[in-house]
Structure 1
Amino acid sequence: MWSVATAIEVTGHYFAPPVDHLRSLGSLTVRLAALVIIILGEGLNGITGTLRFAATSVGFNSRCVALVLCTGVVVYLTFYLYFEGTRPRISKNRRSLWICLHLPYMLSVILLMEGLKNILLYTILYNSIVYSITQFLGLLEMAATGTTYNEMVAALDETMPPFLTKIGFSWDDGWREVNRAAFAAANGTEADILTVITGEMYRLLMNMTVQIVKQFESEDQSPAAELAILQYLHNDTVVHIDAADGANSNLPEFVKVLAAILEPQVQGVRWISVLAGGTLIFLALINVTQSWPKDRYAWGSALSRFLNGTILLMLVFMNIGSGDFGSLHPNGAIWAWLDSFWALPTLAFSLLGQAIVDQILLVLAVRSAKRALKRTYEPSMLDSLRDSKDHAHDPSQPSGASLATTYPPAPATGEHGNSWSIWQPTHVPLTQQQSGYVHNTVVGHQDSYGFVAPPPPPSLPFQSTSFQATGGTGIPPGGVVTPSRPR
């Protein structure tokens, strides 16, 4: 139905495009940015729910803390890389393509957030199960060092209750089931009794595992997982396969049940590298479409994001030959990668490296722009007219004159008896007040562009008032003139 509605909408716009005055002139940048924030917020909300289970899980250690930090780095850098490359201006011809590229990008972000939640849940749950099994088997080996059966039971009663209390499991109830099965097989041989006790201990371990999984899940388990658990707990034939080899058994049936329990979390995790790579690839396309790179640094950022996403995308080839999670293929590269706890650090280091590359390119771009600006405005010693070219409105200078030339008053007395050789306007600064002629001196670069207007000429005998020559500029005689310099 959605595809039909979309096809009708596209067809309608193709045959009857909206008129220009009905088109919106606003930008979708703010709306798309808000939508990305909402998507990241919802994903972060789901991840924090997993953290609540992780903090109270059995075997929570520094490795789990590192996984949580890597998850936070991935979420933050996904947010940072999008908004660091977002610009409000965009060409109208590319606006439609830019908006369309947001659809696969946002879809990748949604699935990436869900995959991060599942992989964090899987890794911490797997860590708790491995820790519990290792601790349980270690306590059994310590108790087996006793010389008699009563010494072994006393050692188990001392060590098991504190450990199982953390899981929320009762040692008394579990040991009661073991004793009941042992009494039922009392008429058999010693080897049969030992096999029965070993099988019951494995069932006790299965109950512990189910209790650990319940601490992480609020929903019911899958029907396949429930059936596998019931088969292992109540079918003696199934548990006898694990107990046949005693302590040297690889627990094939136990591992199958464990795979059925963990399969819902791990199936989406195997494709998380595709989702992380897709976010970087579509983000690079969005940046290029939004604003065509103008220099090699912008191209370097876009190409590095595309290359980084392609490398993450190629990790999907680890699924080749790995089989399903329940088959436990011995050469499954994807399962070895997930079980090694390096899946989240791989994603975090990839995005962190991309952020570092972007910052380095940004610093280089700023330095290059500063050098170019400095070369543009730096005066050339080979061009004596460079300063006048750069500043067209500077006052003209006579040849050989100083850049700081002033117009001093004449030292002699006028022919009509007007003595004004020592006359100085009251508003001229003291640094410019001097008597006599001013000789030309060579100075450095011009720092001040002010000059003093020449004094008025002497009045003629037939003039009733002195003539004030301004040259049509309105500059009072003897005034200080500082022309504005263009910027």
Structure 2
Amino acid sequence: MLAATTNGYDVTAYISHSPGLDGLVSESDLSQLPDNLQLENFSAERTDLLSARTMALAFAITRRASLKVGLWVGGFLLEIISHLWYPAMQKLKRPQPTKRTIGLPNPESLSGYFDTITTVILGEGINGFAGTLASILSIPGVGRAIAVNVVSTAFIIWFIAYIYFEGPHSGTTPKGEGIRRMIWMVMYLPLLASIFLLFVGMKNQFLLTAFISTIKASTAELRGLLNRAHFPNNITNSALWETNPTIKEFMFARKIIWSDEYQKLIEARGNSTNSQEWTENVHAWTSRLSLTIASMGKDGVPENVQTLVDTYYNVNSTFLNQDLRLQNQDPRLSMYSKILIELMDGSLQSARYILIFAAAILISLGLQSLAHSEIKANDPIKGLLLHVALLWGSCFLYFYSSTSERVFQWLEAFWVLPTIAIAYGIQFLIEVTLTRFMDTTKENKRKNSDTEAARPPNLTSQSYYSEPDKDADYSGRQG
């Protein structure tokens, strides 16, 4: 997290130049700069402040903790030594062959290779989440939804790691060279691909959550700022409104220059002939501004979407008023709603498939467990049926929603990642329950086998009857 949040941090800021500027500028002179330079300074200062806070937190955690740091360093060195020591000891214990031969790798080591690949994918996924989270934390208006997503993501990763590494057959390969081993190896392809694609979808959900929560929080905060400034009283007083520091900082945080928006608001005021038309023009101005906030400038917005935003921003008020009515009547026909859907198109599609990838992970693990087990063992089959049920629920969610309305409501409630976390939590409880049951069954079988082995043989149950010898003399007479 520290590396992600300090990526691109300029150590020369405040020393040779002000953040985002070519030279040093005092705080009193910043207000005299053009608005575009003030915006650059505000954005750079916000990023540097986040990096500085992260570094300060890291130093504060390790302050007066020399013993803790020493243990960390010692553990790190011990880990390195153990990785070097164990192979060396194994090589010394292994008898030296008289003639070097080339052979195939030990089949039993295949599980170790796959475990390493899975560990790398999990680690890269965590690193990707840290980078995405670092970029989200600098977005204004991000609320508690991000915290819920972070907690859900942590549980999802932990559940996946537990189910994979602590399963009943983890670290082993199926016996034999038949169809079982082939199924076990083939199932690693959908397993690893699903883990990777699930993590990509989860990162998209991070961005989508930040997008939706930013729009909601920014719109509510803008209304509050305007109400506290007694809008629209004295709206034509540029000295009072254009230089308002609170509104100006609010706009800078969203990469918007307030003076430009104020001039557009004044033009709308001049084009209004009555109070009704002025109210409609204010609604139109607010809609344009919300789209600008949603796109957060032009960074990362597709060209076709930016064209729609620019068109919406430049159309007349009559069209915008009609579009506002369509939003209440049929949002699917509204241009405003179409732009929002285009902005979230990738995340909407990702939400449709993210549960399928989550279910594919469990199904792949279930098939691998089935390949390990005997045909008469029905526990893996039960687990596989549970995985299929989860996949069926995912497909039902995808095909039942003919439009994006239900999916959008699900996204808007920020329940995508918590839903996956709950599903994996249920599977975790099932795995723990089955493991305890299997351990109890194995222990009872072992006790019964030990009892049977320790019991003495029943001599009365054995038959010693034999046929008499017909040639033998049983009369007792001597010849």
TM-score by length of structure 1 reads 0.62
Deviations 1:400-428 (A, max 9, x none): xxxxxxxxxxxxxxxxxxxxxxxxxxxxx
Change (3 A) 1:107 1:248: closer
Quote the offset at 1:323 in angstroms.
4.1
Amino acid in the other structure paired with 1:226: Q
Query: Aligned partners of 2:368 and 2:326: how far apart in 1?
Result: 59
1:241 aligns with 2:322: yes
Q: Which residue of structure 1 lines up, in the alignment, with residue 423 of structure 2?
A: 350
User: In the alignment, is residue 204 of structure 1 matched against residue 289 of structure 2?
Assistant: yes
1:100 counterpart residue number: 186
Is 1:310 matched up with 2:389? yes
Specify the SS of the correspondent of 1:320.
helix
Greater helix share, structure number: 2
Q: Which amino acid aligns with 2:401?
A: S
Q: Does 1:81 align with 2:163?
A: yes
**Structure-1 residue corresponding to 2:439:** 366
Given that residues 142 and 217 in structure 2 are in contact (C-alpha distance below 8 angstroms), is that contact kept between their aligned partners in structure 1?
Answer: no
Q: 1:345 to 1:201 in 2, by over 3 A?
A: closer
- Note the 1:35-184 alignment, pairs <5 A: 35-85=117-167, 86-91=170-175, 92-93=177-178, 94-141=180-227, 143=229, 149=235, 157=244, 159-183=246-270
User: Any conservation in 2 of the 1:144–1:152 contact (CA below 8 Å)?
Assistant: no
| 2:356 paired residue number | 274
Q: CA deviation at 1:171?
A: 2.5
**2:340 alignment partner, one of 254, 258, 261:** 258
Q: Tell me the CA shift for residue 161 of structure 1.
A: 3.2
- State which of 286, 305, 308 in structure 2 corresponds to 1:228: 308
Q: Structure 1 residues 56, 305: closer, same or farther in 2, change over 3 A?
A: farther
After TM superposition, give the deviation of residue 231 of structure 1 in Å: 0.9
SS of 2:107 mapped into structure 1? coil
Shift of 1:348: 0.5
Deviation, 1:133, is 1.8
CA–CA separation in structure 1 for the residues paired with 2:150 and 2:324: 37
Aligned pair in 2 of structure 1 residues 194, 322: CA closer, same or farther (>3 Å)? same
Inter-CA distance 387–76: structure 2 relative to 1 (3 Å threshold) = closer
Assess if the C-alpha contact under 8 Å between 2:191 and 2:365 holds in 1. Answer: yes
Structure ranking higher on relative contact order (CA contacts 8 Å, 6+ apart): 2
Deviation at 1:275, TM superposition (A): 1.0
Q: Secondary structure, in 3 states, of the residue corresponding to 1:268?
A: helix
Q: Which runs of 5+ in 2 are unaligned?
A: 1-101, 459-479
Shift of 1:387: 6.2
Q: Taking structure 1 as reference, are residues 239 and 107 closer, same or farther at Cα in structure 2, changes over 3 Å only?
A: same
Distance 1:271 1:45, change over 3 A: same
Amino acid at match of 2:393: M
Paired with 1:106 and 1:387, the residues of 2 have a C-alpha distance of: 50
**Structure 1, 303-312 or 338-347: larger mean CA deviation:** 303-312
Helix, strand or coil at the partner of 2:187: helix
How far off its partner does 1:263 sit? 1.1
Q: Secondary structure at the residue paired with 2:414?
A: coil
Equivalent-residue separation in structure 1 for 2:297 and 2:301 (angstroms):
13
Distance 1:25 1:145, change over 3 A: closer
Q: CA offset at residue 202 of structure 1?
A: 2.6
**Structure-1 residue corresponding to 2:414:** 341
Q: Which protein shows a greater Rg?
A: 1
RMSD: 3.7
The 1:362/1:109 distance shift into structure 2, 3 A limit, reads: same
Change (3 A) 1:283 1:106: same
Q: Given that residues 348 and 407 in structure 2 are in contact (C-alpha distance below 8 angstroms), is that contact kept between their aligned partners in structure 1?
A: no
What SS class does the counterpart of residue 116 from structure 1 fall into? Answer: helix
SS in structure 2 at match of 1:354: helix
Check whether the contact 2:359–2:387 (CA below 8 A) recurs between aligned residues. Answer: yes
TM-score scaled by structure 2?
A: 0.63
Alpha-carbon distance in structure 2 between the residues aligned to 1:256 and 1:96: 48
Quick one: which of 352, 357, 367 aligns to 1:285? 367
